[in-house]
């Protein structure tokens, strides 16, 4: 916002430079210059640096034409061109401090999910009746061992390993 204010202040310098207060700028020249200055002011107020640059170029071209026809004296032309140079410097300042370089981010590509299919495990062999009975006996033995309390040696029992 502060830079825009600086730019507008510099543009306001152009308006009096184009004014018909002195003998260097004829009334006809001031009438022709006024729309150019207004267009420049609007482009700057809109923050349109490109349009403001174009309006500055148009203003300079008009100053050259008016000087060539004698409607604009040397001092008037110098004042207007000096003010235009100041505006241009502020435009450059505005561009260099407010332009954020565009960064291109490559779009994220998502690879399709990879699915690894493991071969199925072979089926378990069917348990035989003997295996089931043995497992059942082992479970019963473990239950029985937990219930037995060890007896002291010498009573006819053998100590456990």
Residue 56's pLDDT is 92
Q: Which tokens sit at 4?
A: 């825009």
What values do phi and psi take at 35, rounded to 5? -65, -35
In a domain, 80, yes or no: yes
CB 39 within 8 A of CB 61: no
In a domain, 63, yes or no: yes
**Could you tell me the CA-to-CA distances from 23 to 12, 28, 30, 133 in Å, in that order?**
20, 12, 11, 126
| pLDDT tens column, 95-139 | 665 544 444 445 555 556 666 667 777 776 665 556 667 767 766
**Could you tell me the CA-to-CA distances from 31 to 14, 25, 97, 117 in Å, in that order?**
14, 10, 35, 83
Straight-line distance from the first to the last Cα atom of the chain, in angstroms, rounded to the nearest whole number: 93
The sign of the torsion formed by the CA atoms of 119, 120, 126, 127 equals positive
Residue 145's pLDDT is 54
Q: Which helix (H) or strand (E) holds 32?
A: helix 27-45
In a domain, 114, yes or no: no
Q: How far is CA 3 from the centre of its chain?
A: 22
Q: Which tokens sit at 6?
A: 């600086």
In a domain, 68, yes or no: yes
The sign of the torsion formed by the CA atoms of 77, 83, 85, 91 equals negative
Number of domains in the chain: 1
Averaged pLDDT for residues 41-62: 90
Q: What angle do CA 30, 31, 36 make, to 5 degrees?
A: 85
Maximum pairwise Cα distance, the chain:
142
In a domain, 75, yes or no: yes
| pLDDT tens column, 134-156 | 767 766 666 555 555 666 666 66
Model-wide pTM > 0.75: no
In a domain, 147, yes or no: no
In a domain, 136, yes or no: no
Domain around 87: 2-98
Is 86 a residue whose pLDDT tops 60?
yes
DSSP state of 157: P
Higher pLDDT, 2 or 92: 92
SS3 72: strand
In a domain, 116, yes or no: no
């Amino acid at each position: 916002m502060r830079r825009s204010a600086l730019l507008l202040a510099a543009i306001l310098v152009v308006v009096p430079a184009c004014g018909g207060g002195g003998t260097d700028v004829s009334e006809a020249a001031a009438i022709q210059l006024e729309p150019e200055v207004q267009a420049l002011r609007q482009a700057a107020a809109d923050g349109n640096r490109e349009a403001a640059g174009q309006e500055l170029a148009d203003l300079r071209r008009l100053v050259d034409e008016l000087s060539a026809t004698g409607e604009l004296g040397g001092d008037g032309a110098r004042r207007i061109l000096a003010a235009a140079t100041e505006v241009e410097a502020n435009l450059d300042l505005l561009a260099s401090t407010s332009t954020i370089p565009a960064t291109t981010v490559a779009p994220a590509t998502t690879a399709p999910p990879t699915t690894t299919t493991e071969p199925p495990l072979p089926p378990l062999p069917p348990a035989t009746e003997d295996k089931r009975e043995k497992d059942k006996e082992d479970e019963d033995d473990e239950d029985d061992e937990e219930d037995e309390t060890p007896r002291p040696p010498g009573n006819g029992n053998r100590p456990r390993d």
